[in-house]
Structure 1
Amino acid sequence: MQAWIVVGAWAFAVVFAVVVLGFAGYEITWKTRRLAAERAKLEQVAAELARTGAQLQAAAERFR
């Protein structure tokens, strides 16, 4: 009887560990994809800011 309790506890621990590790893997994958998408947007905004800064600098040079 006690052996079944030990086996059941170990089986539960293994299943629980698989579920937790699976969820952690999913979260890491999802956050990595989200970070890549947000990084691409940020790089686009940075490029636009650089273009705008260059235009402002050119306008300042023309004004002088």
Structure 2
Amino acid sequence: MQGWIVAGAWTFAVLFAVVMLGFAGYEISWKSRRLEAERARLEQLMAELTRLGAELQASADRLR
């Protein structure tokens, strides 16, 4: 009887660990995809800001 309890506890522990590791892997994968998308968006915004800065500098140079 005690053998079944030990085996059941180990089975539960292994299954719980597999589920938790699977969930952690999914979370890491999802967050890394989201981070890549946001990084691309920020790079696009930085390029636009750089372009606008150059345009403002050119306008300021023309006004002088």
TM-score by length of 2: 1.00
- Give the secondary-structure state (helix, strand or coil) at the position aligned to 1:32: helix
Q: CA RMSD in A?
A: 0.1
TM-score by length of 1: 1.00
Q: Does 1:31 align with 2:31?
A: yes
Task: Please list, as runs of the form range in 1=range in 2, the aligned pairs for 1:49-64 lying within 5 A after superposition.
Answer: 49-64=49-64
How many residues align? The count is 64
**Structure 1 residue 60, shift from structure 2 partner:** 0.2
- Unaligned runs of 5+ residues in structure 1 are none
1:43 maps to what in 2? 43
2:15 maps to what in 1? 15
Identity %: 73
**Structure 1 residue 28, shift from structure 2 partner:** 0.2
- Unaligned runs of 5+ residues in structure 2 are none
